[in-house]
Amino acid sequence: MLTVLILEGGSWVEISVRLDRVNAAPSQSALASVLESSISATGALMIRSLLTSVAMLSATAANCADLGGLPRSAFLGTQLAPAGEGSVQPVVRGVIPQSTAAALKLHPADVLVEINGAATPDVPSAVAAAGRLKAGQPIKIEIKRGGQALTLEGRAIGKPLESYPNVNVTYGSFAFQGGKVRDILAMPAGVPNAPVVFLLPGFSCVSIEPPSAGHAYRVLAARLTAAKIGFYRAEKPGMGDSLGGPQCADITFQTELDSFRAAYRHLTDTLHIRADRIVMLGHSLGALEAPLLADERAPRGIAVYGAVLRNWADYHQQLASVQRFLIDGTDPGKNYAEGEQVRPLFEAYYFEHKSPDQIAREQPGQARALKDALGWDGGERVIGRNWRFMQALSGLNLPAAWRHARSNVLSLYGGADVVALFDTDQKLIADIAEFTRPGSGTYIEVPDADHGMTRTGTRVQARADTIAERQVTPPFNEDVAKALIGWVETIMAKPPVS
């Protein structure tokens, strides 16, 4: 129901119109006809100035039905980073045009304090609060600007829908543990049996709908569909447009894996994409999940980028010991010593299965180290996830999972990736596949590509940019897409792995 106030004959007249009288994509003349039929000719003269607002409201009502039964999430549109110098408060580093943040006139350097009553003490909490916003809802943001407290109010603007030339983009949903999870299938038009790449994203609780058209996932969607290959994504529980059910920041690793199992079944059983036409693409953490999902129903192929094969605890320990040197040139001896100092904490957390809180109670002097080394927030979160989530990763037997994967395997490694660290694990993944299923394993290194699939230059160049504090926004590394597309075309041209 839409209610409009019209000034007629010196008095305000309230008009109510059912929006189901208007089609999903109404013209302004159609809307005018609906409203003008309810008032006199004098009042009708004022209708035209209201048409833009009415069209937006009508489209919102229609989109809920058109988009898999889920209302559209809002688009805050900020680039956030911790304040630094001992503070993790979220600071606005950039504002995306035509977003909610732009409409509210948020500025770079603004500190977010609260979003719709939810405190935002750090970046993950700000992202979570923004993720709960729906298009058209009132929004109130408390900020600090130059030390002064301000309140900004308005209405949340919905995320724009993705579109690509000659591509059918379907926004749908599937049921999972009492809620509905958003999924997106982009299929090249006129290609009925196109292969489909099923993305398994990285660690963080963020939406698989990045707002920037230059983000790796958006560029991959464009490049794959242009090459007549479909692209399928499913949100993590509670993210994006998803409603109800478990929330990403609270779930265990097993629950996340089960949600992607549900997405895989939805893709094959409901969307009717056969498993032998599907290629899983595991990015970062998704590279751990891909072989585990493939064990249930083998896809045509599994591609991974930025992967880990060793025990997660060992990987995390190595991050603590060498990553700072790789990123910013920190004294390697000092970096190594820092990593060794937290080794007992890692052993208690990963192998003795103690909670961070228990470790802090047993070793009161280590609370600060827990927060620095584990990213513990002092409560239930470690790097923005439930503390049980990362702990479970150290119990995975990934070499066994890759040995039993009945698929072609592509292991893609970015030469400048300082998150996956080194090429050892990626080469071993391809080696395991090739040894157990001759002809099925492929390793490709993409020079100058970082963990986010962008072109950063070599590790040395990227480190020099960091040290010099050069603000660089690297573009997507097109060689990643070329390698993936070429491999998909190759494996689709030969029989599936038996």
Give the containing element (helix H, strand E) for 61: helix 51-66
pLDDT in tens, 251-307: 999 999 999 999 999 999 999 999 999 999 999 999 999 999 998 899 999 999 999
pLDDT in tens, 97-117: 889 999 999 999 999 999 999
pLDDT given at position 329: 94
Domain covering 167-310+396-492 in this structure, CATH number: 3.40.50.1820
DSSP bridge partners of 414: 446
Percent of the chain with pLDDT over 90: 73
| CATH class, range 78-155 | mainly beta
Domain boundaries, the chain: 2-66, 78-155, 167-310+396-492, 312-393
Residue 166 has pLDDT above 90, yes or no: yes
Higher pLDDT, 48 or 135: 135
pLDDT given at position 471: 79
459 residue type, one letter: R
pLDDT in tens, 7-40: 333 333 333 333 333 333 333 333 333 333 333 3
Whole-model pTM: value is: 0.81
pLDDT in tens, 382-429: 999 999 999 999 999 999 999 999 999 999 999 999 999 999 999 999
Of the pLDDT bands very low, low, confident and very high (cuts 50, 70, 90), residue 56 is very low
* Helices within 276-394 (DSSP H only): 286-294, 312-328, 332-341, 343-346, 356-362, 367-374, 387-393
Of the candidates 169, 152, 143, the residue with the CA atom closest to the CA atom of residue 221:
169
